[in-house]
Amino acid sequence: MLSAIQVIRHGFRVFKLEAHENYSAESHFVSHYAVEAERRKGEDEANLWDVTLNYRFGTKEGQPKGRYEGEIIVEGVFSIRPDFPEEKKESLARMNGGAVLLGAVREAVLNQTIRCINGPVELPLVDARSFLPEEERVKPLLPEKKAGTAN
């Protein structure tokens, strides 16, 4: 069975990557990302959503530069089945669309850094629920460990 959301197309609007010559292996990697989703206007586009992921990465402020820093903006067009609940469509577009676009970003960064002087880098995975506004996020799927327990 196909998912309620399907990717129509996606592509990079911005792709900046800098390999630092004198980097510190002690620097802590940080990333910042944001997802925007907007329904397309027009009767014939009622089930299409534009999703944009803005992903920046580099070194924690105040530390020596790490191996890389960069900024990537990737945009995608997604279709959502008309029978999917209307009140959940934006969340589906943000969460699943964001996850698809982040996969494209991770693949592109790895592919580019394989050829870079500082070697390959794999961007970390993120919980796709973080693409939702705070008030829409659900609790983690696994219970948190309680202090003093083995699990």
pLDDT of 151 reads 52
Please give the pLDDT value at position 69. Answer: 96
Domains of the chain, start order? 5-127 (3.10.420.10)
The CA–CA distances, whole Å, from 49 to 5, 9, 61, 139 equal: 10, 11, 35, 26
CB-CB contact of 4 with 72 (8 Å): no
Q: What is the pLDDT of residue 25?
A: 87
pLDDT of residue 104: 98
**pLDDT < 50 regions, the chain:** none
What's the gap between Cα 148 and its chain centre? Answer: 35
